[in-house]
């Protein structure tokens, strides 16, 4: 079921004679892995895809819901073939793409690829502009389940077009429409989960639900605390746009990066989980630390992220609390769940004691509640919670009626 919002948008568009992308998938934020943060172009290969699929099984990630093995930029050759088809790089895909998707499907997992709405991808490989229907037919024939779609080398007043254009012709919305329509056109052959990677341009959250199943709401997560702060703080103001079938994508989880601490990884994962971002691991599963593994295997947090209601948490201001500061992660977050409310407490700017009276939490009210904190495992009953939280750490509390 899509949300009332998406259904309404669809109904309006259908009455205008346009079909909306509404193919019954993407009803929860997608979970998986992407090659880009691992080794950029070098990780866009069959061996990385299959190795990661095996790790999904051996590390218990598949059982927790991690499903998509997504190969990012640089998987093809630099030119199309004489009939205009994309060509998997034979050095990276010695047996082609289908041999890999078949194996991944046999393991009960799904496979994704990356493309671009412009003439070239951001790393300079063929883009799909003018080839949308033919490229989707190729993806469908390979059994591809997911398509991340970027916005480099797109229509521009500058000639030749730069990688990122400052004087665009049209907008990301107009550039993405032909691919959206091609995916709708191929829906009876293959349902493809469509991820819009337009870095939050043109306020994509206001129209993304009718174009794809998720949309990047910001430029890249660079793997440092500043990225977590920039993206996480911006998620608060656009929470209302996330719903089953269309989610704000806060970008890949850059866990295990040397640039963020073990503590910061907890806030990174916890905030992405409660704001209903896709949970896409951007790390090498051969090098994962015990700390990172325990974070990404936190079933309580995953269950909150995958809650069927699909409503993103946002900030709220308890009586006496300071006002939010732009670009900084506010301490108090809450969002509805199908069986309760999630409260997030973030020590984004200072360590300290963070307390909340449940009567002040949106969706709760006066009364006694049962709660469980997902990182410490602490449980309790009562009218409030209070935690001492280290700088850049987080507590995630699921609250249910006592």
Question: Which residues are identified as catalytic?
Answer: 150, 220
For 119, the 3-state DSSP assignment is coil
Chain centroid, CA 165 distance in Å: 24
Interaction between residue 36 and ligand GAL (CB under 6 A) = yes
Would you state the structure tokens that stand for residue 16, as one six-digit string? Answer: 């205008």
User: What are the beta bridge partners of residue 193?
Assistant: 146
Contact 284, 278 (CB under 8 A): no
Per-residue x/- track, 198-237, ligand GAL (CB under 6 A)? ----------------------x-----------------
User: What are the beta bridge partners of residue 333?
Assistant: 315, 344
Interaction between residue 132 and ligand GAL (CB under 6 A) = no
Residue 30 vs 392, nearer CB to ligand GAL: 30
C-alpha span between 268 and 328 (Å, rounded):
13
One-character DSSP codes across 41-59: GGG-SHHHHHHHHHHHHHT
Give the shortest CB-306-to-ligand GAL separation in angstroms: 23
Give the shortest CB-36-to-ligand GAL separation in angstroms: 5
Interaction between residue 43 and ligand GAL (CB under 6 A) = no
Residue 36 vs 272, nearer CB to ligand GAL: 36
Contact 136, 173 (CB under 8 A): no
Give the shortest CB-290-to-ligand GAL separation in angstroms: 27
Would you state the structure tokens that stand for residue 95, as one six-digit string? Answer: 């047996």
Question: For ligand GAL, how many residues bind (rule: CB under 6 A)?
Answer: 9
Interface pick for ligand GAL out of 35, 55, 68, 72 (rule CB under 6 A): 72
Alpha-carbon separation of residue 295 from 28, 90, 164 (angstroms): 20, 36, 35
User: Rounded to 5 degrees, what are φ and ψ at 216?
Assistant: -70, 125
Interaction between residue 73 and ligand GAL (CB under 6 A) = yes
Interaction between residue 122 and ligand GAL (CB under 6 A) = yes
Interface pick for ligand GAL out of 123, 273, 334, 337 (rule CB under 6 A): 123
Give the shortest CB-284-to-ligand GAL separation in angstroms: 16
Give the shortest CB-125-to-ligand GAL separation in angstroms: 9
Interaction between residue 307 and ligand GAL (CB under 6 A) = no
Interaction between residue 182 and ligand GAL (CB under 6 A) = no
Would you state the structure tokens that stand for residue 335, as one six-digit string? Answer: 């969002």
Q: Name 290's Cβ contacts closer than 8 Å, sequence gap at least 6.
A: none
Give the shortest CB-302-to-ligand GAL separation in angstroms: 22
Task: Count Cα atoms within 13 angstroms, Cβ side, for 392.
Answer: 13
Residue 22 vs 70, nearer CB to ligand GAL: 70
For 262, the 3-state DSSP assignment is helix
Q: Which residue bears the tokens 């691919």?
A: 179
Contact 139, 147 (CB under 8 A): yes
Interface pick for ligand GAL out of 46, 183, 197, 239 (rule CB under 6 A): 197
Interaction between residue 269 and ligand GAL (CB under 6 A) = no
Interaction between residue 249 and ligand GAL (CB under 6 A) = no
Residue 72 vs 210, nearer CB to ligand GAL: 72
Residue 123 vs 183, nearer CB to ligand GAL: 123
C-alpha span between 122 and 51 (Å, rounded):
25
Residues near ligand GAL, by CB under 6 A: 36, 72-73, 114, 122-123, 150, 197, 220
């Amino acid at each position: 079921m899509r949300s009332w919002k998406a259904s309404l948008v669809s109904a309006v568009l259908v009455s205008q004679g346009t079909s909306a992308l509404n193919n019954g998938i993407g009803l929860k934020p997608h979970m998986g892995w992407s090659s880009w943060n691992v080794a950029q172009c070098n990780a866009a290969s069959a061996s990385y895809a299959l190795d990661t699929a095996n790790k999904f099984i051996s590390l218990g990630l598949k059982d927790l819901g991690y499903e998509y093995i997504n190969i990012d930029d640089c998987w093809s050759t630099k030119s199309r073939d004489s009939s205009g088809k994309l060509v998997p790089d034979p050095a990276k895909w010695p047996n082609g793409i289908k041999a890999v998707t078949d194996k991944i499907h046999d393991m009960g997992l799904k496979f994704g690829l990356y493309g671009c709405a412009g003439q070239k991808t951001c790393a300079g490989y063929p883009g799909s502009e003018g080839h949308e229907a033919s490229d989707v037919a190729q993806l469908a024939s390979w059994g591809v389940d997911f398509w991340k779609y970027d916005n480099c080398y797109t229509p521009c007043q500058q000639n030749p077009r730069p990688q990122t254009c400052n004087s665009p012709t049209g907008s990301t919305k107009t550039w993405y429409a032909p691919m959206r329509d091609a995916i709708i056109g191929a829906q009876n052959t293959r349902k493809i989960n469509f991820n819009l990677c337009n870095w939050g341009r043109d306020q994509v959250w206001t129209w993304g639900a009718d174009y794809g199943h998720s949309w990047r709401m910001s430029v890249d997560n660079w793997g440092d605390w500043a990225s977590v702060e920039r993206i996480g703080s911006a998620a608060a103001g656009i929470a209302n746009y996330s719903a089953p079938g269309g989610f704000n994508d806060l970008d890949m989880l850059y866990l295990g990066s040397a640039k963020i601490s073990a503590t910061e990884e907890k806030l990174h994962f916890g905030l992405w989980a409660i704001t209903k971002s896709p949970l896409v691991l951007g790390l090498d599963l051969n090098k994962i630390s015990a700390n990172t593994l325990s974070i990404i295997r936190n079933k309580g947090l995953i269950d909150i992220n995958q809650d069927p209601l699909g409503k993103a948490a946002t900030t709220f201001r308890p009586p006496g609390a300071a006002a939010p500061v732009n670009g900084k992660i506010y301490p108090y977050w809450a969002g509805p769940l199908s069986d309760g409310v999630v409260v997030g407490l973030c020590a984004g700017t200072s360590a300290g004691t963070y307390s909340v009276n449940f009567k002040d939490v949106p969706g709760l009210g006066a009364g006694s509640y049962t709660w469980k904190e997902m990182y410490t495992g602490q449980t309790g009953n009562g009218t409030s919670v209070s935690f001492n939280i280290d700088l850049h750490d987080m507590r995630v509390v699921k609250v249910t009626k006592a």
